[in-house]
Chains A and B, each alone.
Chain A
């Protein structure tokens, strides 16, 4: 318990979380503070490239093992299965329609790459190493949840067609292409490549993450201000409970795979996080009747801040306790 509190305190008082809090507070106070759209896009490109590249270098240094393939399979299964659990929970806890519940459930099977990036930063700050290929697991977990949500809807007799454009947008969305592409570049170029560009992708990383999370805080705060009214108590409770349930499944998968303590923590983070970029876009195309203010506010305004502030230290502490690291 003491370890959890220490980690939580350190995390809450880190520049990363305080930057996020500043953004939320500014948005809630209706400040005109904003990060230009193009700058925010550039920051996210930088973070995705850096995290992918470093993951590839790590795989290059430590070599490939069977765990990579198994971790990918585990990630895909988790992504496909978690929406089914989320859907059942939503039906019990909330009065959401089948359509809204399926759309929300899809978000909780997919992942938030920003939460993943923040978690890797916390691990690095604590000197905890993790499997570099967790970046590839993150990419693999983006899409299966969307298929599960559409299956849930089709079971209710409302068949939805996935057109080829939607497939392309999901599987080749910019974030996945950049993450996987930079991972491969890091893998191919290894430590030598990292040395060449480390002054760009290692040293400034946390500063850039602070600015990016400031923007995320602004977006989350605006979302809460605008959409907070649509979230009833049961829906709000789901936004906190579901990450804990997801993280438990991630924990079980990580332990079964024999991942390192850092790897288990990241698997928990991935399973606990909820998408707010790829899945909302897919839902707007495939399930346009579902209410975006529910799933976006829940994912971005409730689950994302929860994971960022309390979830990550909790997952790291639990992974540490159960792996004996």
Chain B
């Protein structure tokens, strides 16, 4: 089966910044993404679990986008403008998709 090269961008960010990030991505033309809750983890501020948090200030979410390689720079510029000053991780991996027209 024929596959097409794509980039998978995973942005782990504070839940409070989720809507700002997805709006920025949409404005940059990235309309396809998934948002996943993060149940816990450990980083520079120590370990945490979602069950032990109160309010949305401390929780994290992961925004995942799969895009064509040529659209990567626009996505990263839009994302960086939002996540620059905040806790979070942005990672990019190469992947392949079946239906290129959807990305």
B1 at the interface (CB under 8 A from A): no
Q: Name the residue on B nearest A283 (C-beta).
A: B57
A280 at the interface (CB under 8 A from B): yes
B51 at the interface (CB under 8 A from A): yes
Contact between A276 and B54, CB atoms less than 8 A apart: yes
Q: Which of B42-60 contact A (CB under 8 A)?
A: 45-48, 50-58
B102 at the interface (CB under 8 A from A): no
Residue in contact with A281 in the complex, picked from B47, B51, B55, B87, CB distance below 8 Å? B55
Docked CA distance A135–B43 (Å)? 39
Which of A120-128, A188-196, A286-294 binds B? A286-294
Tally chain A residues at the interface, Cβ within 8 Å: 25
Q: Which of A245-302 contact B (CB under 8 A)?
A: 276-278, 280-281, 283-285, 288-289, 292-293, 296, 300
Docked CA distance A300–B58 (Å)? 13
Contact between A226 and B87, CB atoms less than 8 A apart: no
Contact between A226 and B58, CB atoms less than 8 A apart: no
Question: Which residues in A have their C-beta under 8 angstroms from that of B45?
Answer: 292-293
Q: A289-B85, A293-B45 are known contacts. Are A284 and B50 too (CB-CB below 8 A)?
A: no
Contact between B54 and A277, CB atoms less than 8 A apart: yes
Question: Which residues in A have their C-beta under 8 angstroms from that of B47?
Answer: 226
B91 at the interface (CB under 8 A from A): no
Which of B3-11, B15-23, B27-35, B67-75 binds A? B15-23
Q: A276-B55, A289-B85 are known contacts. Are A284 and B14 too (CB-CB below 8 A)?
A: yes
A37 at the interface (CB under 8 A from B): yes
Question: Which residues in A have their C-beta under 8 angstroms from that of B17?
Answer: 284-285
Question: Which residues in B have their C-beta under 8 angstroms from that of A54?
Answer: none
Question: Which residues in A have their C-beta under 8 angstroms from that of B56?
Answer: 281
B2 at the interface (CB under 8 A from A): no
Counting chain A CB atoms within 10 Å of each CB, the highest count among B45, B48, B50, B57 belongs to B57
Q: A288-B86, A293-B45 are known contacts. Are A281 and B57 too (CB-CB below 8 A)?
A: yes
Contact between B57 and A165, CB atoms less than 8 A apart: no
One digit per residue, 1 when the CB lies within 8 angstroms of any chain A CB and 0 when it does not, for chain B 60-100 equals 00000000000000000000000001110000000000000
Docked CA distance A285–B18 (Å)? 11
Tally chain B residues at the interface, Cβ within 8 Å: 21
Question: Which residues in B have their C-beta under 8 angstroms from that of A280?
Answer: 55, 57-58
Total A-B residue pairs with C-beta atoms closer than 8 Å?
54
Docked CA distance A19–B36 (Å)? 33
Contact between A284 and B57, CB atoms less than 8 A apart: yes
Contact between B58 and A288, CB atoms less than 8 A apart: no
Question: Which residues in A have their C-beta under 8 angstroms from that of B16?
Answer: 169, 281, 284-285
Q: Name the residue on B nearest A44 (C-beta).
A: B54
Question: Which residues in B have their C-beta under 8 angstroms from that of A223?
Answer: 52
Docked CA distance A283–B56 (Å)? 11
One digit per residue, 1 when the CB lies within 8 angstroms of any chain B CB and 0 when it does not, for chain A 10-47 equals 00000000000000000000000010110000000000
B14 to A: closest C-beta gap in Å: 6
Question: Which residues in B have their C-beta under 8 angstroms from that of A283?
Answer: 57
Q: Name the residue on B nearest A275 (C-beta).
A: B55
Docked CA distance A138–B48 (Å)? 31
Docked CA distance A269–B51 (Å)? 28
Q: Name the residue on A nearest B48 (C-beta).
A: A226
Contact between B20 and A222, CB atoms less than 8 A apart: no
Residues of B bordering A, CB below 8 Å? 14, 16-17, 19-20, 45-48, 50-58, 85-87
Residues of A bordering B, CB below 8 Å? 34, 36-37, 165, 169, 216, 218-219, 222-223, 226, 276-278, 280-281, 283-285, 288-289, 292-293, 296, 300
